[in-house]
Amino acid sequence: MEAFAFEPAGDPQTAPEPMVEISLTFRGHTATVRALYDTGSDISHLSNSWAQFFNVDPALVPKIPVGMLGGHQVSGSLVFVTARLDGHEFIMPVVFHTAQTKDLFGRHGIGELYGVTLDAVAQLTRAEWKHDAETAGDRMKHDVLAIEGNFLPGWDAET
């Protein structure tokens, strides 16, 4: 089981935010990303600075509509990264876009594969693995393609 300390929000009147650290690999580039764990977000959102780090060319990857807080939508670049948390590897969908000011991890990839507990008293986010990595990762990639839609079967997000 992994545990991560909450971080203070920008506004002192706002409750501390639950955080998670995940090692992400895409096309030979690896980084540990610390981001807000957002139980209200289906997919993980990272800023375009991470897209540049991972050498993601927005012209070469699918675009999907991404709902933002407040109800407006933006276009994001979808890729599937290899993620590592608590000693387990899995496939996780990530969307990069310019509207993202705070990196966040959504439920796809984490919520389905880990038991996640937000402990407000201890101010810790705890993540404990609960699935077989290979079948869960394959299922996750298929589910996200079906949810986000309109990609051909067998499409490979890493090419």
pLDDT, tens only, 114-126: 889 999 999 999 9
Q: Which residue has the higher pLDDT, 11 or 53?
A: 53
pLDDT for 54-107, tens place per residue?
999 888 888 888 877 777 788 889 999 999 999 988 888 999 988 877 899 998
98 located within any domain: yes
56 located within any domain: yes
Longest CA–CA separation in the chain, Å:
47
pLDDT for 93-116, tens place per residue?
999 988 877 899 998 888 878 889
131 located within any domain: yes
Report how far residue 144's alpha carbon sits from residue 29's, in angstroms, rounded to the nearest whole number. Answer: 23
Report how far residue 13's alpha carbon sits from residue 36's, in angstroms, rounded to the nearest whole number. Answer: 18
Report how far residue 106's alpha carbon sits from residue 43's, in angstroms, rounded to the nearest whole number. Answer: 5
63 located within any domain: yes
The CATH number of the domain holding residue 93 is 2.40.70.10
Q: How many CB atoms lie within 10 A of CB 50?
A: 21
Q: Which residue has the higher pLDDT, 80 or 153?
A: 80
67 located within any domain: yes
Residue 71's nearest CA partner among 98, 99, 91 is: 99
DSSP SS3 for 143: helix
- Residue span of the structural domain in which 66 resides: 2-143
Q: Which residue has the tokens 């995940």?
A: 22
How many domains is the chain built from? 1
Helices (H), 2-157: 48-53, 133-148
| Structural contact between residues 126 and 119, judged by C-beta atoms closer than 8 angstroms | yes
pTM of this prediction?
0.81
